[in-house]
Homo-oligomer: A and B are copies of this chain.
Amino acid sequence: MPSFADRLAEVVRTKGPLCVGLDPRWEALPQALRPPRGSPLDLAAVAAVYRNFCQKVLELVQPWAGVVKPQAAFFEHCGPPGMAALADILRTARDMGFITILDAKRGDIASTATAYAEAALGGWTMDGQTFPVWNADALTINPYLGRDAVEPFLTAAQKAQRGVFVLVRTSNPGAGLFQDLLCDGQPLYRHVAAEVVKWNAPTVGCYGLGDVGAVVGATHPRELAELRAVMPAVWLLVPGYGAQGGTARDVQAAYRSDGLGAIVNSSRGVTFPFHPDDPEWETKIITAAQRAHAELKP
């Protein structure tokens, strides 16, 4: 199997840089997919609707996006049946040819980090049996715990030809509280970026890009351009486009001159461009995906 970075480059060459975020929220889901109002509900029923909605989204956006990013939090919100739905959606997406990024922002140390990494990325083997668990192509991770919190994820990713995206400069309004602190003359996020460059270097593949990516928000266009410049071989995962306020013009700074190097996430903008009662919700998803696809062309 080619490396994660090479597979991502091929998908982006074919389908463009749009990554569709799967963030199912009950109150936003089409009424048409929910059980009739007043029916008794349990977590399994909620999870079943999440599964159906996400699988529908995968079908609708397939012509316009090559990457999908389920958000673990919304599936955890539904407990064990939600996690089973997450596993099903990841499996379906992979079978349909999508590159899958599990957005879980995990971070822990030593064997604990290895447990998260194996579950998310390559699975694990016991007594000759393999358990793929979530089996995503890539995982988002949090760097705060330091070197030995990142290395087990890198090791598991490399072993299974998968990738990670390290949080560097996040898209939220309060991100700067720690990320912008000046440390030895440079903001903290630049220190994290410098480590990502080092971790990524040994993994650079055929397209001059490696398997250790960085999360950099579209809501900070200046920092996006700055980080593109200092991380030339690093894939950027760019949240914050669309509903969070980043424009298609803002994200142009994330692409390299060859048009590769960034994938741009849209969750609500593509998956919820409708009122829950709207019978045309499927058409609206297609139109939103098509527009994002066109607008995001490098």
Contact = CB atoms under 8 A, between A and B. Distances in A.
B108 A146 contact: no
A57 to B, nearest CB: 17
Interface residues of A, number: 70
Interface string A113-135: 10110110000101101010110
Main DSSP-derived SS at the A contact region:
mixed
A86 to B, nearest CB: 8
B133 A79 contact: yes
Given A80-B80, A178-B188, A73 B146 contact: no
Given A77-B133, A119-B77, A181 B178 contact: no
A210 interface: no
Interface string A153-178: 00000000000000100111111111
A145 B172 contact: yes
A40 B126 CA distance: 10
Copies of this chain present: 2
Contacts of A167: 144-145
A236 to B, nearest CB: 17
Contacts of A83: 76, 79-80, 83
Contacts of A43: 131, 133
A74 B23 contact: no
B126 A26 contact: yes
23 contacts: A38-B127, A42-B131, A46-B131, A73-B115, A73-B116, A74-B115, A76-B116, A77-B119, A77-B124, A79-B133, A80-B80, A80-B83, A105-B107, A105-B142, A107-B142, A145-B167, A146-B174, A146-B176, A147-B177, A148-B174, A148-B175, A178-B191, A182-B184
Given A77-B118, A105-B145, A107-B142, 8 more contacts: A38-B127, A71-B112, A73-B115, A83-B83, A142-B145, A146-B176, A146-B177, A149-B174
Interface of A: 23, 25-26, 37-38, 40-43, 46, 71, 73-74, 76-81, 83-84, 87, 105-113, 115-116, 118-119, 124, 126-127, 129, 131, 133-134, 142-149, 151, 167, 170-179, 181-184, 188, 191-192, 195
